[in-house]
Amino acid sequence: MENCSVIDMFCGAGGLTHGFVLEGFKVIAGIDADTSCKYAYETNNRGAYFIHKKIEDLIAEEILDLYPHGHTKILVGCAPCQPYSSYNKKKGKKDEKWRLLDEFGDLICEVKPDIVSMENVPDLVKYRKGKVYSDFVAKLKANGYYVSSFPEVYCPDYGIPQQRTRLVMFASKYSEIDILPPTHSPDQYRTVWETIGQMEPIKAGGVSEKDPLHRSSQLSELNMRRIRASKPGGTWRDWDKELIATCHRKVSGDGYVSVYGRMEWHLPSPTITTQFYGFGNGRFGHPEQDRAISLREGALLQTFPMNYEFVAPDKPIHLKVMGRHMGNAVPVELGRVIARSIAQHLRVHLQ
């Protein structure tokens, strides 16, 4: 899109940015508090540079100075979603990061970009009885924005091989923005097999000689017995009693049937989280091999291209850090859907 410039707040490793880049948008910069994302962000998104800064420390003038004069200003982002996740609510966790959404709203109203988009978890609309999100929307509307909210965007409907449901919000100075209609029906959903079925076999704790990111975590002897007893789509209830964790034998553990599970080849994967590399953290077991999925496989299920670089060649690869970069990302293909929806809107209003 000519004469349109994008800035990505909470950019992380660049999933949302990369979707815009692939759709022909000029992305000026990504801003994030996690400096470890800098290499992946800048290496894969040429021309966009990484700014290490917390949103609380940003002022509107810093953002405005980044946009070229006369360009349509687009501001996108995904405020950290852990505070609003059903997992954290089930665990009873408290997280003050929800305040970042309020900070984002204030920044939008000070910068006054032409177009805004935010991606987050659907439970955001229920958080604190809906007040956090409704206050955010009301703030934008009070500043002249048309706000469109799509709280139930199901990723497989757009060719993303992951059973991930996301909230997508658009705000525009011109009119409401419609998200593109789904591109895939259920019988066309991309599957785990289509996405990672041709990856080189590796063992638990193993690393491919061809791709250092195709590595899986070690499994203890007990977890090796557990994964061997697991079947695709099954649960720990399929195991012999001595393999079941003590916490799951209690009534309170009945709600966590998706941990220690294998994916199924013929379906999209479960939602990729920041801990997808751990067999015990969800249904992240490989459908056939006795291991959790690898870092590269997680990135592919997040629709990052195979050649997306997450770490410099001479740097060590840490599962926890890479899991955070990949799991926190907006799936690249969802980024493309968001970008195409904005492009369609702008073609109508900027003729």
Q: Which residue reads 């001479």 in tokens?
A: 314
The whole-number pLDDT of residue 312 equals 96
Are 298 and 278 in contact by the 8 Å Cβ rule? The answer is no
Residue 279: Cβ within 10 Å count: 28
DSSP labels, 257-268: TTTT-B--TTSP
- The average pLDDT across 323-340 equals 97
Cβ-based neighbour number of residue 224 at 10 Å: 15
In this prediction, residue 79 carries a pLDDT of 80
Predicted confidence at residue 129, as pLDDT, reads: 74
Question: pTM of the prediction?
Answer: 0.92
Percent of the chain with pLDDT over 90: 77
Return the exposure string of 321-351: e unless at least 16 CB atoms fall within 10 Å of the residue's CB, then b.
Answer: bbbbbbbbbbbbbbbbbbbbbbbebbeeeee
Distance CA 150, CA 61 (A): 30
Q: What is the mean pLDDT of residues 176-185?
A: 97
Confidence check: pLDDT of 258 > 70: no
| Each residue's pLDDT tens digit, 273-309 | 999 999 988 899 999 999 999 999 999 999 999 999 9
Q: Which residues are catalytic?
A: 81
Residue 233 near residue 285, CB atoms below 8 Å:
no
Q: What is the mean pLDDT of residues 258-285?
A: 92
> CA-CA distance, 118 to 78, in Å (whole number)?
5
pLDDT at 131: 87
Q: Residue 101: how many CB atoms within 10 A of its CB?
A: 24
Residue 196 has pLDDT above 50, yes or no: yes
Q: What is the mean pLDDT of residues 3-21?
A: 97
Q: What is the DSSP letter of 328?
A: T
Average pLDDT rounded to a whole number, residues 303-329:
96
Q: What is the pLDDT of residues 333-342, one digit of tens each?
A: 999 999 999 9
How long is the chain? 351
Q: Would you call 111 helix, strand, or coil by DSSP?
A: helix
What is the pLDDT of the chain when averaged over all its residues? 91
First to last CA, the chain: 12
Distance of CA 74 to the CA centre of its chain: 20
How high is the pLDDT of residue 82? 52
Separation in Å, CA 161 to CA 74, 251, 349: 28, 33, 33
Q: What is the mean pLDDT of residues 149-170?
A: 95
Mean pLDDT, range 90-112, rounded to an integer = 75
Cα 110 to Cα 59, 63, 132, 140: the distances in Å are: 8, 10, 19, 11
pLDDT of residue 254: 52
Structure token digits, residue 141: 């509307």
Bridge partner list, 72 = 4
71 close to 336: Cβ distance less than 8 angstroms: no
pLDDT one-digit tens code per residue, 28-79:
999 999 999 999 999 999 999 999 999 999 999 999 999 999 999 999 998 8
Least confident stretch, 77-81, 234-238, 263-267, 306-310? 77-81
| Pair 20, 339: CB distance under 8 Å | yes
3-state secondary structure of 69: coil
pLDDT at residue 142, as a whole number: 97
- Angle subtended by helix axes 332-349 and 15-22, to nearest 10: 50
pLDDT of residue 247: 72
| pLDDT at residue 257, as a whole number | 61
Question: What percent helix, strand, coil does the chain show, rounded to 5?
Answer: 40, 15, 45
Give the model's confidence band at 93: pLDDT under 50 very low, under 70 low, under 90 confident, else very high: very low
The model's confidence at residue 23, banded by pLDDT at 50, 70 and 90, is very high
Stretch 126-148: mean pLDDT, rounded?
90
Domains and CATH numbers, the chain: 4-184+330-349 (3.40.50.150)
